[in-house]
């Protein structure tokens, strides 16, 4: 009986610490740049395990001073066109993805930019109910605390955009030889085209498929107009 009481006490303490620390982290990152993400650390460990030199290019730029508006528009057009109107979850996309799964069709992604940001900053890649539950929790938190502009800013600064490349400024220098704010509209669309799999697709040496995606995204950007 004593052991069960101790276990319950420990679990209550652990849950309390998790909630306090997670809320504190979200509040802190509302104002401060995110220096490193779990995925960055995982990739570095994978590189070391393969005996490779560590590759980690990441430099934070603010939405006001260094982020091209066209890149924000491009990723919304490509990844999450209802980003500005949903509250973290696109239930229409989720429903369509579920229908396709039931019908045995190729599965489409239903994760919003908010969900991807929550996963990138606070969690690890992969599936499972536990991790998905945490993703829902952090998505709700950042929608409530950060707001849309901050979510986009963190997303564009933290997402993987190539092998060892994270964020807009890093990919701008590594693939286009210029700072992020000097990226062209076409550059931005090409970067957005790689995001489903930036380790497979390259904005530096785009395939014909990538160029087709770029053209489609440019068209969607024109249709959206602005965000």
Taking the C-alpha atoms of residue 8 and residue 39, their distance in angstroms, rounded to an integer, is: 32
Range of the domain at 85: 38-48+58-224
Instruction: Please indicate, yes or no, if residue 173 is contained in any of the structural domains.
Output: yes
Strands 165-166 and 57-58, bridge-based pairing: parallel
Q: Please state the rounded mean pLDDT for residues 175-190.
A: 97
Q: Number of folded domains in the chain?
A: 1
pLDDT above 70 covers a percentage of the chain that reads 94
pLDDT at 106 > cutoff 60: no
Instruction: Please indicate, yes or no, if residue 180 is contained in any of the structural domains.
Output: yes
- Nearest-5° Cα angle at 181, 32 to 75: 75
pLDDT at 93 > cutoff 90: no
Taking the C-alpha atoms of residue 122 and residue 139, their distance in angstroms, rounded to an integer, is: 10
Instruction: Please indicate, yes or no, if residue 4 is contained in any of the structural domains.
Output: no
The DSSP call for residue 54 is P
Instruction: Please indicate, yes or no, if residue 145 is contained in any of the structural domains.
Output: yes
Q: Please state the rounded mean pLDDT for residues 128-136.
A: 93
pLDDT above 90 covers a percentage of the chain that reads 79
Instruction: Please indicate, yes or no, if residue 142 is contained in any of the structural domains.
Output: yes
| Tokens found for residue 120 | 């990138």
Cross-strand partners of 166: 58, 160
Q: Which of 9-23, 183-197, 211-225 has the lowest mean pLDDT?
A: 9-23
pLDDT at 1 > cutoff 70: no
Burial environment of residue 205 by CB neighbours within 10 A (0 to 12, 13 to 18, 19 or more): exposed
State pLDDT tens for residues 40-83.
999 999 999 999 999 999 999 999 988 999 999 999 999 999 99
What's the confidence (pLDDT) of residue 199? Answer: 93
Instruction: Please indicate, yes or no, if residue 6 is contained in any of the structural domains.
Output: no
160-162: strand order across its sheet: 57-58, 165-166, 160-162
Instruction: Please indicate, yes or no, if residue 9 is contained in any of the structural domains.
Output: no
pLDDT at 100 > cutoff 80: no
Q: What is the pTM of this model?
A: 0.90
């Amino acid at each position: 009986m004593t052991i069960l009481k101790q276990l319950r006490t420990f679990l209550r303490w652990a849950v309390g610490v998790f909630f306090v620390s997670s809320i504190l982290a979200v509040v802190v990152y509302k104002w401060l740049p995110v220096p490193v993400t779990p995925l960055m650390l995982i990739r570095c460990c994978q590189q070391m395990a393969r005996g490779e030199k560590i590759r980690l290019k990441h430099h934070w730029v603010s939405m006001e001073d260094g982020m091209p508006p066209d890149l924000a528009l491009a990723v919304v057009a490509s990844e999450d066109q209802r980003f500005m109107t949903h509250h973290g979850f696109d239930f229409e996309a989720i429903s369509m993805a579920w229908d396709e799964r039931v019908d045995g069709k190729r599965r489409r992604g239903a994760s919003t930019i908010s969900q991807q940001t929550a996963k990138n900053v606070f969690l690890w890649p992969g599936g499972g109910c536990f991790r998905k539950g945490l993703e829902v929790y952090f998505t709700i938190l950042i929608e409530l605390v950060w707001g849309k502009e901050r979510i986009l800013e963190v997303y564009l600064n933290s997402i993987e955009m190539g092998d060892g490349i994270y964020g807009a400024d890093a990919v701008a220098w590594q693939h286009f030889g210029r700072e992020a704010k000097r990226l062209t509209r076409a550059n931005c669309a090409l970067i957005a085209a790689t995001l489903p799999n930036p380790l497979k697709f390259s904005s530096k040496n785009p395939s014909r498929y990538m160029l087709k995606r770029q053209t489609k995204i440019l068209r969607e950007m024109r249709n959206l107009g602005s965000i």
